């Protein structure tokens, strides 16, 4: 394939490298790195303070966007004054002629609304499932007017939209050389992700308390109130959770069963994660994919997840982990007891065969090729 000039426009909810963008940050990094390796010319647009792993980066100032996850289904679209999202797309408009394709990583209304006004084609990679009427409407419009330009990470994610059939499923991929296989685990479980209500950390905490197995939590504290609540739940449930071992000033629990490890770099994350017996993934929403599941599998760590959304398509029940009835803490406890039935080599193998950066790069490249091949693209403008 000839070398493409690609402008990757990031999420406006936080700087790349901060963790606030959740899985989008790793997804963008892996796609960008793989495309550079394949000889494409990549420029990333990110909020001020972003890191871009040596890839050309345009840092744009402005007020961060509130994540669509915190809004209700009927919430109107809000764009603050001096919006970084608006600034991203104003920049994109000005430089669009220098690029063959623009790739949008933001789950926000504006880039979809602007799509017909651009002369350079835009590929939109959706990082979340259906969340609001306003987003469904605007994405749906783009799906009809520019067929093939809406990318998703799983079939389950696509199924949450009325335009499911016109979505392109790309799954995801990670650089497997960064994740070391660990044969002999230690007796603890991991929970990895943004600490925010939709991620259902309280279920993992409750399950570990019932199963009497330590849980190590890794990820950025996105919602401080929620984190405080998690610790209060623990205090109520464990009678010997003494005042001394309560909440430290920074909000970090010192309960020996539940340990907060902080927000870790990929290198540190895999170093810790690979030692655990299993990963718990307990979201209360339809997770679009679940990067942390493929990261765990890459280390040979089986994953236990609720049977809905992206994780149901990644985990093979009884082979690379266990799928549990959604929102069932007792189901999690039962699955924890069966973790030793999973062959850790099968987990690593699953990551190698489906979720390498090469496999993902092939899917993404083909997607771009198809978008650019649509000769009638400019006729639809």
Q: List interacting residues with ligand UDP (CB under 6 A).
A: 19, 22-23, 26, 192-194, 218-219, 263-264, 266, 269, 289-292, 295
Give 111 or 290: the residue with its C-beta nearer to ligand UDP: 290
Give 214 or 290: the residue with its C-beta nearer to ligand UDP: 290
CB burial of 154-172 (b: ≥16 within 10 Å; e: otherwise) equals: bebbbbbbebbebbbbbbb
Contact at 8 Å (CB) between 355 and 172? yes
Minimal distance in Å, beta carbon 26 to ligand UDP? 3
Nearest-Å Rg of the Cα atoms of the chain is 21
Quick one: tokens of 35?
């495309």
Task: Give the strands of the sheet with 278-281, arranged side by side.
Answer: 258-262, 215-218, 189-192, 278-281, 303-306, 321-324
Give 50 or 291: the residue with its C-beta nearer to ligand UDP: 291
Length of the chain: 381
Give 87 or 253: the residue with its C-beta nearer to ligand UDP: 253
Quick one: tokens of 295?
């990261």
Minimal distance in Å, beta carbon 233 to ligand UDP? 21
Minimal distance in Å, beta carbon 69 to ligand UDP? 8
Minimal distance in Å, beta carbon 97 to ligand UDP? 32
Give 156 or 371: the residue with its C-beta nearer to ligand UDP: 156
Which residue is at the shortest CB distance from ligand UDP?
22
Give 4 or 230: the residue with its C-beta nearer to ligand UDP: 230
Minimal distance in Å, beta carbon 272 to ligand UDP? 9
Torsional class of 309: left (φ above 0), alpha (ψ -120 to 50), beta (otherwise): left
Nearest to 360 by CA among 125, 160, 196: 125
- Euclidean distance between CA atoms 281 and 200, whole angstroms: 8
Minimal distance in Å, beta carbon 229 to ligand UDP? 19
Minimal distance in Å, beta carbon 265 to ligand UDP? 7
Contact at 8 Å (CB) between 105 and 27? yes
Quick one: tokens of 136?
């469904």
Give 55 or 372: the residue with its C-beta nearer to ligand UDP: 55
């Amino acid at each position: 394939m000839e070398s493409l000039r690609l402008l990757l426009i990031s999420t406006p909810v936080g700087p790349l490298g901060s963790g606030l963008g959740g899985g989008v940050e790793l997804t963008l990094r892996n796609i960008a790195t793989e495309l550079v390796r394949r000889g494409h010319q990549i420029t990333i647009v990110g909020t001020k303070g972003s890191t871009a792993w040596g890839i050309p980066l345009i840092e744009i100032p402005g007020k961060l966007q509130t994540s669509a996850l915190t809004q209700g289904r009927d919430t109107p679209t809000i764009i603050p004054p001096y919006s970084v999202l608006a600034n991203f797309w104003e920049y994109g408009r000005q430089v669009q002629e220098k690029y063959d394709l623009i790739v949008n990583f933001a789950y926000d209304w504006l880039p979809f609304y602007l799509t017909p006004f651009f002369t350079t084609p835009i590929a939109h990679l959706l990082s979340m499932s259906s969340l609001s009427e306003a987003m469904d409407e605007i994405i749906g419009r783009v799906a009809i007017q520019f067929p093939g330009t809406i990318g998703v990470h799983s079939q389950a994610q696509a199924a949450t939209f009325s335009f499911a059939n016109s979505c392109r499923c790309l799954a995801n991929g990670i650089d497997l050389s960064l994740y070391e296989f660990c044969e002999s685990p230690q007796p603890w479980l991991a929970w990895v992700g943004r600490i925010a209500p939709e991620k259902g950390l309280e279920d993992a905490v409750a399950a570990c308390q019932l199963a009497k197995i330590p849980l190590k939590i890794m990820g950025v504290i996105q919602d401080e109130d929620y984190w405080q609540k998690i610790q209060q739940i623990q205090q109520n449930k464990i009678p010997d959770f003494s005042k001394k071992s309560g909440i430290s000033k920074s909000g970090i629990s010192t309960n020996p069963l539940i340990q907060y490890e902080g927000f870790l770099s990929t290198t540190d994350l895999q170093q810790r994660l690979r030692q655990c017996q299993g990963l718990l993934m307990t979201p209360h929403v339809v997770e679009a994919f679940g990067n942390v599941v493929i990261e765990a599998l890459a280390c040979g760590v089986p994953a236990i997840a609720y049977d809905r959304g992206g994780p149901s398509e990644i985990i093979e029940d009884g082979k690379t982990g266990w799928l549990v009835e959604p929102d069932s803490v007792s189901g999690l406890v039962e699955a924890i007891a069966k973790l030793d039935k999973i062959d850790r080599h099968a987990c690593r193998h699953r990551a190698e065969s489906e979720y390498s950066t090469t496999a993902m790069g092939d899917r993404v490249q083909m997607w771009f090729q198809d978008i650019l091949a649509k000769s009638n693209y400019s006729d639809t403008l």
